[in-house]
Structure 1
Amino acid sequence: MRRSRSASLPAVVWMSMSLGTSVPCPGTALTLTTPFHWPPGGAGGPTGGTWANLVGMSTPEPAWSPLELDALSAAAGPGWSVTLHGTAASTNALAAQDPVADTIVVADHQTAGRGRLDRSWETPPGSALTFSVVVDPGIADHDWPLLPLAVALAVADGVRREADVPVVLKWPNDLLVRSSAGDDLKVCGILLERVQSAAGVPLAVIGIGINVGLRAEDLPVPTATSLAIAGSSVSRTAVFGSVVPALATILDALRTEPGAVLERYRTECDTIGREVTVSLPDGEELTGTATGLDRSGRLLVGERPIGAGDVVHVRPT
């Protein structure tokens, strides 16, 4: 993953796509316009074809193999319409062009990115699971701020279940892995955008990016990691098939018991109780103890509620 800006940027952010990019219809076969070379950056690996054709379906899919539409659709389960792009600059932008609830846009390789503060990234082919889910949350407007927290819980559930990696949550929706040296390293980022359907219904575009097979030499910053580096050899398809059902489950809970979802997040958020430094959108930098969350899911630093900002856990000395 190559970064294009400051070394303090997060490990995974979400991508912007030019409006001229063609979008395959849900359920259609994927045509790859960019050849795959796998493993990424490796020599002597197979090129072209599908993993199933090369080694047979009984062999587990390695983390670096190309994604396949049929496998992703089966992994997501009924009720979802999945599209797969071989190369794309943004799943979020594609999903937001004509948003339809219960659709998922996956990119095997994202080439350029836009995150908060217009941060941009590139991930090596086959190293990250990058996709966007369009949902109708079906929640009251005052509960929308809880949606990023709920999504973080779901992704953490899915990653823990499939990869068996002990991820922790950093407010509002980053997933971290604690290294043996005690450092918090980012393995997943999430970006949510509120859009409207053609009928004017508010929808959420949920961008999720998980560093699955990224190697140490490909890390953009010392604060990033991957599931592979954390010791898991799980495939991207397997992680996808664990995260999507977990997301559906947490959204159901948010619709019926938003207070319970918030309380669960409070108990699992590793930021609470930590010394933090927060860079606010207006340029102010705030340092203090994260004491909790308010009813809207805002982080309390001391007694001050923070609705947006880049949070850094201060490592104990």
Structure 2
Amino acid sequence: MTSDPSGSRWSDLDRPPLHADSLRRALVRPGALWTSLDVVTATGSTNSDLRARAADLPEGAVLVAEEQTAGRGRLDRQWTAPPRSGLFFSVLLRPDVPERHWGWLPLLAGVATASALSREAGVDTALKWPNDILVTIGGEERKTGGILAERAGDAVIVGIGLNVTLREAELPVPTAGSLALAGARATDREVLLRAVLRAVEDWYGDWGAADGDAAVSRLQETYAAGCATLGRTVRAELPGGGSTTGEAVALDGEGRLVLATADGVQQPVSAGDIVHLRGAAE
């Protein structure tokens, strides 16, 4: 990683750089899931970079960027943040489980990320199906992180973006948040990155040992317990156009959100943009 030129935008002392060597010592070891870890000053998208190199990389490659200039979320939404204000990284996985279970990977990453942040940063986190990490700021739920999983041949690239130290004036939209604004007791990005990657490794190992069965590995139960979407009336805006509204009542065995619609039908939703309309208590 390049050094900071004096007086540049990289000289914010409140946002120190990540140290790739110390991260490798902590995470890349014999028998571990993580086989390589690189930190770059800036790139367009860590997901795009890993996907382009997927055929030549072993499982467990990790790419971290101090800044993403063309970061993407679901539905090709742009993800932007000031340099070193968050964690922007992707991992390459080759799941040895039936492909019908691969849809659980972004949910697995969500469980791992939310639990690691709660433990290390001391903030209450929740999951918005399928891929958002929520925190509470001033009594409001705000998105502080997102997950994007993309197929690359026999591999899956899972990208995770987290707002760590963004200030109110730096937020891209009013519904965004950051760990710092949520009152996090720790915002050391190296500590948080290590915690998230270790949690992903643990959950991925348990899920793989269960042959991708989310019930046996307790992934389904754990996701449901931390999911802010369940029990609410939501609108699912579907990728091909159109939408459906109903109460989010369950996750099925493949990680789909099951909506109970007004006409009494239970409809599983495998992809879409979910809008929380109201809480169950309302």
Aligned to 1:228: 180
Give distance in 1, aligned partners of 2:226 and 2:141. 15
1:193 paired with 2:150, answer yes
Matches within 5 A, 1:116-155: 116-155=74-113
Number of residue pairs matched?
260
Q: CA RMSD in A?
A: 1.8
- What displacement does 1:277 show? 1.8
SS in 2 for 1:189: strand
- What displacement does 1:218 show? 0.7
- Matched residue type, 1:38: S
1:38 paired with 2:1, answer no
1:253 paired with 2:206, answer yes
1:74 to 25, 31, 36: 25
- What displacement does 1:36 show? 4.7
- What displacement does 1:114 show? 2.8
Residues 75 and 160 of structure 1, relative CA distance in 2, 3 Å threshold: farther
SS in 1 for 2:41: strand
Asked if the contact 1:214/1:226 (under 8 Å) is kept, the reply is yes
1:90 paired with 2:48, answer no
SS in 2 for 1:222: coil
SS in 1 for 2:91: strand
Identity %: 39
- TM-score, reference length from structure 2: 0.86
Give distance in 1, aligned partners of 2:242 and 2:3. 45
Aligned to 2:231: 273
Give distance in 2, aligned partners of 1:86 and 1:179. 30
Between the two structures, name the one with larger relative contact order (CA 8 Å, sep ≥ 6). Answer: 1
Asked if the contact 2:80/2:172 (under 8 Å) is kept, the reply is no
- TM-score, reference length from structure 1: 0.77
Give distance in 2, aligned partners of 1:95 and 1:107. 12
2:254 to 296, 305, 308: 296
Residues 186 and 294 of structure 1, relative CA distance in 2, 3 Å threshold: same
Aligned to 2:119: 161
- What displacement does 1:129 show? 0.4
Give distance in 1, aligned partners of 2:71 and 2:225. 32
Give distance in 1, aligned partners of 2:225 and 2:80. 34
- What displacement does 1:115 show? 2.8
- Matched residue type, 1:142: R
1:171 to 119, 125, 129: 129
Give distance in 2, aligned partners of 1:164 and 1:75. 22
Asked if the contact 1:33/1:86 (under 8 Å) is kept, the reply is no
Asked if the contact 2:28/2:37 (under 8 Å) is kept, the reply is no
Matches within 5 A, 1:38-57: 38-39=11-12
Asked if the contact 1:32/1:86 (under 8 Å) is kept, the reply is no
- What displacement does 1:173 show? 2.0
Deviations 1:282-314 (A, max 9, x none): 221222210111221110111111011111222
Gaps of 5+ in 1: 1-29, 40-44, 46-61, 197-201
